[in-house]
């Protein structure tokens, strides 16, 4: 999954013309450590799977059809201020469940990639 996220980052960098820098294992370790609580990646599955979350990092697994994520009626945007900076916070509400935080941001980026073709 990390390889897919890395490939997406490379693609986005090429599309946007972002500058490149040399690889630094030390910087990569520092970035992963800093993002340790946000590296909960949603998984897109096309076949039935019996999920069993461990209960520590994942409370539960919910299955949401792609069509429900694409339906803007299920998307809610709120703004929160933290450290004097206003941040957009995304929420998807689906059948009494709410997806938010890092998972919502990752899903939004995934949907944007799908929309771009």
The tens-digit pLDDT sequence of the chain (117 residues) is: 667 777 888 788 888 877 777 878 888 888 877 776 555 555 555 566 676 777 777 777 888 999 999 998 999 999 999 899 999 999 999 999 999 888 899 889 888 888 876
**Domain spans of the chain, in order of start:** 2-116
Residue 13: what pLDDT?
Answer: 80
pTM of the model as a whole: 0.51
Q: Report the alpha-carbon distance of residue 67 to residue 73 in Å, rounded.
A: 11
Q: For the chain, how are helix, strand and coil distributed in percent, rounded to 5? A: 40, 20, 40
Residue 68: what pLDDT?
Answer: 93
Nearest to 44 by CA among 23, 60, 66: 66
């Amino acid at each position: 999954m990390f390889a897919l996220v890395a490939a997406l980052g490379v693609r986005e960098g090429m599309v946007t013309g972002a500058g490149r820098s040399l690889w630094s294992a030390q910087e990569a370790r520092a970035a992963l450590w800093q993002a340790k609580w946000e590296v909960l990646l949603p998984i897109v599955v096309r076949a039935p799977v019996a999920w069993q979350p461990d209960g520590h990092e994942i409370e539960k697994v919910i299955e949401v059809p792609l069509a429900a994520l694409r339906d803007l009626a299920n998307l809610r945007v709120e703004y929160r201020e933290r450290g004097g900076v206003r941040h957009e916070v995304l929420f998807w509400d689906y059948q009494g469940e709410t997806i938010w935080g890092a998972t919502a941001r990752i899903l939004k980026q995934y949907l944007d990639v799908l929309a771009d073709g």
